[in-house]
Structure formats: C-alpha cells, structure tokens
Structure 1
Amino acid sequence: MRLIYFLAPRLLIAAITMFGVALLVFLSLRLIPGGYADIVLGPFATGAARDLLIQRYGLDEPIFVQFGKWLWALLQGDFGNSMVTNKPVIDEFLRRAPVTGELAILTLLLALAIGLPLGVWSGLAEGGAGGKGRLGRLVGALGASVPDFVIGSAFIFIFSKWSLGLKVGGFVPLDQGLWDNLKTMILPTVSLSVFAIALFLRTTRDAVLRVMTDGHILAAVARGQRPRDIVRHHVLRNAAIPVVTVTATYFGFLLGGAVIAEVLFSIPGVGYYIFSSLEERDYAVVQAGVLLAAFVFVSLNMVADFAYALIDPRIGAARSGT
C-alpha cells in the first residue's frame, strides 16, 4: 500500500507530461516554415505532385485528426515509418541507441570522476586559507561559461591539423576494436564533459556548504569526531540528494541525444539522426525522437525519487504520506 501511494501520483504526472510533450512536438513541427512536400519536391514541383504527396501521408487532414491517429498508433506500440526511408522508426532508433548510450556513459563517468571530488574539496575548503574555495568557484564558472560547441569546434581545428593520435570523424563501432572506437569517442566525450564537470562541481560544492552548517554537523564536531568520519558519515550522504537530481537530469539529456557533439563529430547516434530528420521534415522520426527523450527524462526522474528514499528514509515516508 505504501508503494502504491508512492507510485500513483508520479505515474499520473508522468502520463500528463508525456501527453503534453506529444501534443507540443506534433503541433510545433507543423508550424516550422517549409513543409514536408516543400523539402522533398523542391520549389519547382507541380501542384498535383504536392497534393499527391500530402494525401499519401495524410497531411491534408485536420491537424487534430492527424494527432489522434498518431497517438492511437503510439498507444499500440507503433512509432510509424520514416517518411524519407520508409523504414520503421523504432528500428532506426534501436540501431543508433548503443552509440548514444556509449557517449552518454563515457561522458557521465568522466564528469562524475572529476566533478564530484572537486566539488567536495571546494565545499570543504570554502573560506579556508589560500583561497581554495574561490578556486573551485572559478573552475566551475569557467566550465559552465564555455559552450560545448565552442570546445568541440576547437578540438576539431586542433586535432584536424595535428592528429595527436585521436580521430576527428570517421566513427568506428565498438565491435571493430575498443581502442579504435575510443579514439573516435574521446573528443566528443571531453567536449561534453567540460560543462558537466562544472555542473557537478558547483552542485556538490553548494550541497556540502549547506550541510556543513546543519546542527548535526556542529554537534558531531562538538563531540570530537574526526573530520574524516564527519565527512564520510554525515556530509556526503546528506549532500547526495541534489547531486542525484542533477545526475539523473543530465544523464537524461545525454541519452536523449547529445545533438551538438554528435553532429560536430559525425557520431551516428540518436541526436544526429533526429537533427538530420528535422532538416528533411521527417515528422515521424522527430516526433518519436522527442517523445522517447521525454520518456527517458521522466523515467530517470522517477528513479531519482526512489534514490532519494534510499538515501534518506524520511523523504520516502513523507512522499508516501506515512
């Protein structure tokens, strides 16, 4: 019963969110200048050819009729076929998902491995001698200020002129060799990680600073506990909740398709597929891609909710109404 109280409101909110995303992306695509017939047939096509193509895909029907048909097909597990290749959309996403998944996992691992320790160190050192806390703020601000496409473009210029053992473009699948694959993934991973490192650093630092002023920390200090034990048993656990939130959100962004990095480095993942389909007005692909990205976000947020309850049982009890 407690689990039902915990899950029911979240599932309802998730369903409403998914419906809102589906409606928004469906309507937004049709407001973009230049419809599917204009892109496919070009400006010199005859009116008869345009009408035939529009009728073929049902684009001449009222927009909410089109939306209803698409939504009904989705509920039956049918994401439709690409309007360009006529291949099932879900098959194309499944084929590209491992590439995006690898990029997302590598980026997240690198960002956590660097950002979390720096954030804890910066939070503990805040106000200490030597300006260590200010150094952490500076690193976080610089990392968050430089867009990933600027970093990626700089990498492309540098490593195209001087190879330095890494490859720009020419993606190599993982099953064709681990090192050859990594040589094509290192640059996009690092370009995405810079912002993520700054994000985790600042989030962790702020969380540690907040926890350090709590009464139970001051009580532990008064009892004479060793600083190492205070950090391990009290600070890190209580500072984990905002870090879990940021991790789930950013990982959802990465899994949804790190579009800029994939396009810049010609990584054939989900983001690259959605971007190219948007240029071609392939409505079926873009609609399914945005909806799947939203589903990933919603699912990861629910996972984060469960993680909150595990980290702090008081949160789970409060949110389940007990």
Structure 2
Amino acid sequence: MTYFRWALGRLGVAALTLFGVSLLIFAAVRAMPGSYSDLVLGPLATDADKAAAATRYGLDGSLPEQYAHWLLNAARGDFGISMASQTPVATEFADRLPATVTLTVLALAVTVLIGVPLGVLTGIRGAGGGRTGRVLGSLGLSLPEFVVGSLVVFVFTRYGLGLTVGGYVPWDQGPLRSVLSLALPAAVLAVFCTAAVARTTRDAVLGVLVEPHVGAALARGESAAHIVRHHVLRNAAIPVLTLLATLSAYLLGGAVIVERLFNTPGLGSFLVDGLDRRDYAIVQAGVLLAATVFIAVNVLVDIVCGVIDPRISTRAGRSTT
C-alpha cells in the first residue's frame, strides 16, 4: 500500500511539474524579442496586415486567454497551425518523429550494449585494472559531437565503407533501409552516451562492491559471476537507469548538431528553424513535447527503481508522514 501511495504521489508531482513547465514555455516564447509579423511579414507590413495575422493565429487575445486556449487544444492533440508552412503542427511532428525515435532507439541500444558491460568490467577490475575502458570513457566524454560527427562524415564520404551520409530513408520505404540510413548519426550520438553510462556504471559497481553483503557473499563461497548477477547489478542499476532516462529525453529532444551534419529531418533541427522564425506554435509544441517525454521517462524510472529497491518508496512514505 505504501508503494502505491508513493507512486500516485510521483504521478501528481509530475502533473504539477508539467503544468508549471507549460506556463514557463508560454511565457518564454512570448518574451522573445521580435515577433512573427516582424520577421515574416516584413518591415513594410501595415498595421492592418499585422492585426489580421494576429487574429488568424489567435494572438489578439489577452495572454491568459491565449494560454488557456493553447493548453486546452494541446491536451486534445491540437498544437495549432505552423505560421511558416501553414500546415498543422501535429502533421509536421508526425512526419519527423519517426526519424527522431529511430535515432534515439539506435543510440540507446548501442549505449546499453556497450556502456553497461564496459562499466561493469572496469568496476569489477577496480583501480588496478580496466585502464583501457577508463581511457576510452574519458575520451568519449571530452570529444564534442561536432568533432566526432565531422570526422565520421569525412571518412564515410571519402572512403564509402558501405554506409552513406545524409541519405535518410523514411520508415515506410523499408525498416531495414531506414535503420541503416541512421546508423552513422546514431553511432555519433552514442559516443558521449556510452562514455557517460560506462563511467556511471563503473562508479556504481565500485560502490556496491564495498558493501557488507558482498563481503558476506564472498565468505559464503559464492562465485564471482553469481555475486555480480545477484548482488552487484541490481544494486548498481538505479543510478544507471536514472542516467539513461536523462539521455533518452535528451535524444528525443533532438540532437541538433548531429541532425544538421547528417541532414536528418528530425525534431531538433525543425525546432531550431521554428525558433528562428518565431513560429510560436512549433516552439511551444516542441518544447512541451520534450518536457513531457522527460517527465514521463523520469517518473517511469522512479517507479521501476521503487520496484528494484523497495526502500525508496518506504523512506519516501515515512518522510511524508
């Protein structure tokens, strides 16, 4: 019962957080210098033209009225009309979301398959071993994405090596072709993510290995593999899951530099273009979507962590009583 009360509390906090984020998004977009009429209609636009544009896009009401109208429509899945393309924002997002989701899934898959085993290996070896893994992890954390991406673009453009640069294939033209077209940008994104997960996993494993229950398992004669599977991995999973939640939200928000380098029609570069044009509908919907994903993923990770370690929900329940 304590766990379910704690989980419901986390959902309530998430809903309040999302409401606060929506307020900040709306206020920040309205506070940006310049406006749609200044950038798109041009300096020669008359007051009548500006008033007509404001009426058409619902910008002529008071700020509370605009916010309430936008929030209610967004809750129904209606994010308005793009001021630049004159098409529904939901349609624009639906066209670009498959590329971003595929890119995120590929990058996270590489991160988990390489980063977690590498972190466990270097953690088990301790301070006296795993130097290669630590060096590679530090290198991956220190290299900017535009450096790695530019190097990959040069190498695969110059020598081919079986993969093309910038030739994104939509999912409906073949799932395998779509995945292969995003393999290079996903690998570039995975460099930093893998290094971060490996470092976090290593630190978590080192922290668990000094716990008394691990020493007791060694004293009972349990094998090293059994100790790692049944004692180390479960206790070290919580910080790793928390980091993966943050990375997944970051990737779904769109890695703009990588999308630009590889000419990937994802959400990140689309939001930057909307910001440049002061396209309120696109910016508000994009940031709200990224915030929703971030909050939802973190709530899911919190609930999973409460299942892995019941002490989390128990301590939280006691602190609220």
Same fold, judged at TM 0.5 (above): yes
2:317 is the counterpart of 1:314: no
Partner of 2:197: 200
The residue that corresponds to 1:95 in the other structure is: 95
Partners of 2:3 and 2:314 within 8 A in 1:
no
**Separation in 2, partners of 1:174, 1:53:** 36
Q: Distance in 2 between matches of 1:33 and 1:188?
A: 33
| Equivalent runs, 1:200-279 vs 2, <5 Å | 200-279=197-276
> How many residues are aligned here?
319
**Corresponding residue number in structure 2 for 1:84:** 84
Correspondence for 1:108: 108
- Name the CA shift for 1:264/1:43 in 2 (closer, same or farther; >3 Å): farther
Note the alpha carbon deviations across 1:53-102, whole angstroms, 9 max, x for none: 23432434443432232223334443222222332222322232222111
Q: Which residue does 1:65 correspond to in 2?
A: 65
Q: Output one character per residue of 1:19-62: Cα deviation in whole Å (capped at 9) or x when no partner.
A: 22112222222233331112212334344433432343243444
Q: Give 1:243's aligned amino acid.
A: V
Matching residue within 172, 179, 182 for 1:182: 179
Q: Deviations over 1:213-241 (max 9, x none)?
A: 11111111222222222112111111111
Change (3 A) 1:34 1:162: farther
Other-structure match for 1:33: 33
Residue aligned with 1:86, SS: coil
Quick check: 1:166–1:183 contact (8 Å CA) kept in 2? yes
Which has the higher mean CA deviation after the structures are superposed, 146-155 or 73-82?
A: 73-82
Which has the higher mean CA deviation after the structures are superposed, 164-173 or 312-321? 312-321
The answer to whether the 8 A contact 1:266-1:272 is kept is no
Letter in 2 for 1:159: F
Secondary structure of residue in 1 paired with 2:182: helix
CA contact (8 A) 2:271 2:286 kept: yes
CA distance in 1 between counterparts of 2:276 and 2:161 reads: 34
Tell me how far 1:178 sits from its aligned partner.
4.5
In 1, are the aligned partners of 2:208 and 2:235 still within 8 Å (CA)? yes
Kindly provide the amino acid, as one letter, of the partner of residue 17 in structure 2.
T
Between the aligned partners of 1:303 and 1:61, the Cα distance in structure 2 is 38
- Preserved contact between residue 82 and residue 88 of structure 1 (Cα < 8 Å): yes
CA distance in 1, matches of 2:257, 2:22: 23
Inter-partner Cα distance in structure 1 for 2:89 and 2:243? 30
Q: 1:154: which partner in 2?
A: 151
Partners of 1:196 and 1:266 lie apart in 2 by: 21
SS in 2 for 1:164: coil
CA shift at 1:114, angstroms? 0.8
Q: Is the 8 A contact 1:165 1:183 kept in 2?
A: no
Shift of 1:174: 2.9
Alpha carbons of structure 1 residues 4 and 218: separation in structure 2 relative to 1, 3 Å: closer
Give the distance between the partners of 2:156 and 2:39, measured in 1 at CA.
35
- C-alpha change, 1:186 and 1:75, in structure 2 (3 Å) is closer
**CA gap 1:235/1:3 in 2 versus in 1, 3 angstroms:** closer
> SS state of the match for residue 202, structure 1?
helix
Question: Which letter does structure 2 place at the counterpart of 1:210?
Answer: G
Give the Cα–Cα distance (whole angstroms) in 2 for the partners of residues 50 and 184 of structure 1: 43
2:3 and 2:313 in contact (8 A); partners too = no
CA displacement at 1:122 relative to structure 2: 0.7
Other structure's SS at 1:181 match: helix
Q: Is the 8 A contact 2:57 2:81 kept in 1?
A: no
- Bigger drift between 60-69 and 192-201 goes to 60-69
Structure 1 residues 175 and 280 mapped into 2: Cα distance closer, same or farther (>3 Å)? same
Unaligned stretches of 5+ in structure 1? none
Q: Structure 2, unaligned stretches of length 5 or more?
A: none
Please identify, of 100-109 and 47-56, the stretch whose mean Cα deviation from structure 2 is larger: 47-56
